[in-house]
Structure 1
């Protein structure tokens, strides 16, 4: 493994680990606040216990997310000094704002954890809601920085040096809005279905059913609503990618030749040598519609770009297909959820489907970030700095990768153990009460 590959693998693994806990840390406080609100309104002790259970989970995930997020910030400087040299003066604002949001989130968590019986009930509830709001803002600021990598703006690039820097324009770049909406909805989807799937599993086991049914409803209300909204956000994102990164869109769809009435492929494997799609099912004109709202519009293919500027087509296409496939299935389940919730009856097959989908939302998030990051290659700053030119010249990055691989695996095992222990403790408490 060469230095560049090791550095990319380290960053990919670190980001892939962190994004799971970041997504949960952003959205679980909203579930917790919903349960707390229901407790204050209805005084049903089940909602109080759900609030406390999710509160402990939020605390655990905040700690894990803080550790893994801090490591990522160091890795940017250690592994990619070429990126920081160019990007630091331009895109520092969202990182500083993210740090502020993280600080406020930490304060809000402290107030909520230790504010029971020390604060007025609705003020205490507001501190819990603040945890979710600041977590969401933190995620938006980080995505804004990533959006700048995909659509760099706020400077003039002259002879390899940035001039006339405008940090506000850089932060609110042309990619931040669609990426932020897409990511925040994805987090709500993944965590909503994940939490609902866990509670559906416990419900089907037949113990403390009332508790788990109420928890499932809270989680799925968020998850189902986000899932139904996501296809519309995805359409908006697809159009923006077509404008800002046409090579990425072509790789996502395995679209090699520029054409009108371009087909959208379901499945298939792109063949970069023959520049064809193998075994895919084409839908004529659909790619043109997605990109330009016109089935007869021309869509740029990979033939418009030098071969050395192509993203890894097969990886990008497969990851995109996984993301879209899972997302559409979740949207369908979201519609069914609201139908069954209105009837206040959930068939056993639907609950089993939620159990199956417990991890799939996170799989879709990981696939989506593969599309975002791999689809931008070979650029670390799109059309400005190549990834190979930004990596550290210091040798031995493979040992760095091995060290962090062990660290993150250990952290993941510890987190799962803590969560399992927490669920078992709460389950026993519920059983004793009933």
Structure 2
């Protein structure tokens, strides 16, 4: 059986970017949290803030390193597997990736060195400045990468001459129609990832009675963040959906498995899409809700996938179920954020064991939602690399064989497995060690949970003492 280099190359890029994406998403949110922690310590000189900052800096460094290692090969794939695409779009994508390295990566890496090794060697103000610069660097990096990817979805500010894309307006190309919504969506996703990881780890420490004061502070802060970010993500997602309806209607039709153009479209809660026969099986839907959500009009019209040839339709299974996984987890995140607000009364967020155990499990939810959302975004663009202008087949390297693509894919899987296992092993050791006092050698990890005192509860949200 002959191996298809297009399918294998798509699998390879999907594997590499899926593996890589979870690390920047986490570090973007965590970097801002670190800047806040160092700022609070600089202002108050409270040792609890310092211990939190030092602990999460170690976690950040490990995850940042894993992100660098996993991401360094992605740009090489443009040349090895997608050389036609790289050559055609080099006038735009080449400078954009260079700007990301020059303005963001160097900034992050340089000041991360000050953050990790500058304590006691630079002034507290300079140490805080380094933390802020690392946080700024993560958002600058996100800006360039998402502007580049968004241009592939909603290309603007260019002209095509002899199959090559030339930029006619950098402002239009960078700030293309989908970029603002995708940038906000990714930023909030990163805050949710960082917030739920901090909440989950803090909950685990509280269950084990480790560093009570510091971890209560961390849990309280993260839950306030989640209470804002989780609902805000739903609002931004709604605006993003309206933008997608305007600029990528085929993707939206695939997300909702809508086959025929119609008004008053129902919202399919569940269905088994049958792309071959252009229909759904076992559909459970709510009348008119699809049109209401997608167009803000219960009688709004949605264009169906039958309007496009089958070879230009996205793979409906991936987009349909990926979207529902992402949205379902999003509502679950909102539920936990609201539950945290309710449990603040009497300080129960620090002692309610079921809630704390739930937060531990929820620490992985943002990453699953992130990957599901990325699958929706990228498969929903299929079969296009540059939407409506260059297909995936046209962008593939002409001389690439299926065997060559399979060999590199297997190599990536092996290498990334080693990186992931090693990184997670070391990260687990860092977390298990916690915020142990290195000078005195005291490790409080196994100290049992004690009842909360009034002094413990009198920070941030001024909660009443908890009942054990």
In the superposition, the TM-score normalised over structure 2's length comes to 0.88
Retained in 1: the 8 A contact 2:271–2:281?
yes
Alignment of 1:358-397 (within 5 A): 358-392=363-397, 393-395=399-401, 396-397=404-405
Instruction: Describe the superposition over 1:387-413 as per-residue Cα deviations: whole angstroms up to 9, x where unpaired.
Output: 012112222110000001111111001
Corresponding position: 1:352 with 2:322: no
The counterpart of 1:37, out of the listed 39, 45, 48, is 39
Instruction: Describe the superposition over 1:280-307 as per-residue Cα deviations: whole angstroms up to 9, x where unpaired.
Output: 3312222222222211111111011111
Alignment of 1:9-408 (within 5 A): 9-99=11-101, 100-157=103-160, 160-163=163-166, 165-341=168-344, 344-346=347-349, 347-392=352-397, 393-395=399-401, 396-408=404-416
Retained in 1: the 8 A contact 2:91–2:167?
no
Q: Which piece of structure 1 moves more, 397-406 or 167-176?
A: 167-176
Retained in 2: the 8 A contact 1:92–1:167?
no
Task: Give SS of 1:279's match.
Answer: strand
Retained in 1: the 8 A contact 2:92–2:167?
no
How many correspondences in the alignment? Answer: 434
- Alpha-carbon distance between aligned partners in 1 of 2:93 and 2:262, rounded to the nearest angstrom: 36
Retained in 2: the 8 A contact 1:154–1:170?
yes
Retained in 1: the 8 A contact 2:89–2:165?
no
Instruction: Describe the superposition over 1:328-348 as per-residue Cα deviations: whole angstroms up to 9, x where unpaired.
Output: 111122222234346533132
Deviation at 1:79, TM superposition (A): 1.3
- Alpha-carbon distance between aligned partners in 2 of 1:183 and 1:163, rounded to the nearest angstrom: 28
Shift in CA distance, 414/166, structure 1 to aligned 2, threshold 3 Å: same
Alignment partner, residue 455 of structure 2:
none
Instruction: Describe the superposition over 1:112-144 as per-residue Cα deviations: whole angstroms up to 9, x where unpaired.
Output: 223223333233212102211210221121011
Instruction: Describe the superposition over 1:234-253 as per-residue Cα deviations: whole angstroms up to 9, x where unpaired.
Output: 00000000001000000001
Retained in 1: the 8 A contact 2:29–2:194?
yes
Runs of 5+ unmatched residues, structure 1: none
Q: In terms of Rg, which structure is larger? A: 2
Retained in 2: the 8 A contact 1:111–1:127?
yes
In the superposition, the TM-score normalised over structure 1's length comes to 0.95
Alignment partner, residue 420 of structure 2:
412
Shift in CA distance, 224/427, structure 1 to aligned 2, threshold 3 Å: same
Runs of 5+ unmatched residues, structure 2: 445-468
Select the structure that is richer in helix: 1
- Alpha-carbon distance between aligned partners in 1 of 2:106 and 2:210, rounded to the nearest angstrom: 39
Deviation at 1:106, TM superposition (A): 1.2
- Alpha-carbon distance between aligned partners in 2 of 1:213 and 1:256, rounded to the nearest angstrom: 51
- Alpha-carbon distance between aligned partners in 1 of 2:20 and 2:415, rounded to the nearest angstrom: 12
